[in-house]
Amino acid sequence: MSDFAKTKSIFHLPEGVIYLDGNSLGPLPKATPDNIGNMLTNEWGEMLITGWNKADWMGQPSRVGDRIGKLIGAAAGSVVMGDTLSIKVYQAVSSALELNSSRKVVLSDNGNFPTDLYMVDGLLKSLDAGHELRLSDPDKVEESLSEEIAVLMLTEVDYRTGRKHNMKALTEKAHALGIIVIWDLAHSAGAVEVDLEGCNADFAVGCTYKYLNGGPGAPAFIYVAPRLQDKIRPSLSGWMGHEAPFAFDLDYRAGAGIERMRVGTPPVIALTALESALDIWDMVSMADVRAKSIELCDLFISEVEARCPELELNSPRDGENRGSQVTFKFNEGYAAMQALIAHGVIGDFRAPDNMRFGFTPLYIDESDVRAAVDILADVINNKLWDKPEYKQKARVT
């Protein structure tokens, strides 16, 4: 059994705060500052440029990628780190389109996170080859699949509602129609059980600052199925993905396997922060994390519905169809969330009226859920949100 009291003690959680926003930015693991400090002092400071070999900074993107791979059902050598998720989306879609070059449609759903759609839109405009980005409703994806579609690109867990797609069923159905499938695991990695190999996924991408606690701007990951790795052409053909970066050839030759998805110099400090955050996963099983997360979300839903009748659930009620977050709609959701934060419960707001709460068993327990609902009920039922200072829109919501 995973010991969640132990994992909770491993995070720095500020006094007087209940943190229900780990789905946006995970909290700081207590070991991270020392681990970064050691890297700075003992590696960068002492080794200088020799650290690329001596401390194997060069191997870090694959080393960390393999550790993430274990959390998402990917074999060693099929995940590599670098850049941001937006960039990884671009790489996956461009390579996938080339694998299916006789078709011109990328299908996604209108619940997808906008940057994924923006990146595809920009890519298709650059290709200028008659491609189309088509969006279906999330619950109509299956019926929208056809032999016209080159690439199906979906985010497994909807960032707004937490609605979870059936990865295995959709991948199977798409493959039967000759479609390449890309899964965005931004709200899945570290939150729900993912089995990329078992689903026979083609590509997957994700970020590491949400449920993986890598810190603000932590590098993203990309997975390419081993059967495809040597077939794909990287559209971002940077020197770190070259077969021999230090041969300094004038011509690009793609590196072996997943290494070709690297682009430029790896962010060693950020990867070190992420690497130390991954140690926590050695102490727990993802099955336990998932089961506890469903329990916490169910408890939150039933308590909020009992005590805050003005709030309307905007997440699937059945835990199996939901990620690790719960969303409630409320007309004054923005102001209510600001008031809630001022009273020590941090969640976030997603336009137009969604109050979003993430539940992470690694550092949230039942008593946190109950205490958070007490404060939420006070904010809503006593209209504590109805103050001008809570209605001022900040740059980040």
Ligand X SMILES: *Cc1c(COP(=O)(O)O)cnc(C)c1O
Q: Which residues are catalytic?
A: 113, 184, 209-210, 356
Taking the C-alpha atoms of residue 239 and residue 241, their distance in angstroms, rounded to an integer, is: 5
CB of 370 to ligand X, least distance (A): 28
What is the token pair recorded at 133? 């980005």
Contact 95, 233 (CB under 8 A): yes
Closest separation in Å from C-beta 206 to ligand X: 8
> Percentage helix, strand, coil, to 5, in the chain?
45, 15, 40
| The residue to which tokens 């839903």 are assigned | 301
**Residues near ligand X, by CB under 6 A:** 84-86, 113, 115-116, 155, 159, 184, 186-187, 207, 220
For the chain, the straight-line distance linking the first and the last C-alpha, in angstroms and rounded, comes to 36
User: Distance between CA 190 and CA 361 in Å, rounded?
Assistant: 11
Distance, CA of 31 to CA of 12 (rounded, Å): 9
Nearer to ligand X, 157 or 339 (CB): 157
CA distances 50 to 41, 259, 265, Å, are 14, 21, 15
User: By C-beta, is 97 or 189 nearer to ligand X?
Assistant: 189
Written as six digits, the tokens of 184 are 């965005």
Q: Which is nearer to ligand X, 113 or 281 (CB)?
A: 113
3-class SS of residue 27: coil
Q: What is the 3-class SS of 303-353, one letter each residue?
A: HHHHHCCCCEECCCCCHHHECCEEEEECCCHHHHHHHHHHCCEECEEECCC
Which residues share a beta bridge with 345? Answer: 18
Q: What angle do CA 344, 368, 362 make, to 5 degrees?
A: 110
CB of 253 to ligand X, least distance (A): 28
Q: Which is nearer to ligand X, 11 or 113 (CB)?
A: 113
Which of these, 175, 200, 193, 205, lies nearest to 113 by C-alpha position?
A: 205
Pick 91 or 373: Cβ nearer ligand X? 91
CB-nearer residue toward ligand X: 86 or 200: 86
- Specify the pairing of strand 203-206 against strand 221-224: antiparallel
Q: Report the nearest approach of ligand X to the CB of residue 179 (Å).
A: 20
For 93, the 3-state DSSP assignment is helix
Six-digit token pair at 389?
């200072």
* Nearest approach, Cβ of residue 115 and ligand X (Å): 5
Supply the minimum distance, in Å, between the C-beta of residue 87 and ligand X.
7
Give the Cα separation of 115 and 87 in Å (integer). 10
Could you tell me the smallest distance in angstroms from the CB atom of residue 334 to ligand X? 19
Cβ-based nearer residue to ligand X, 154 or 339: 154
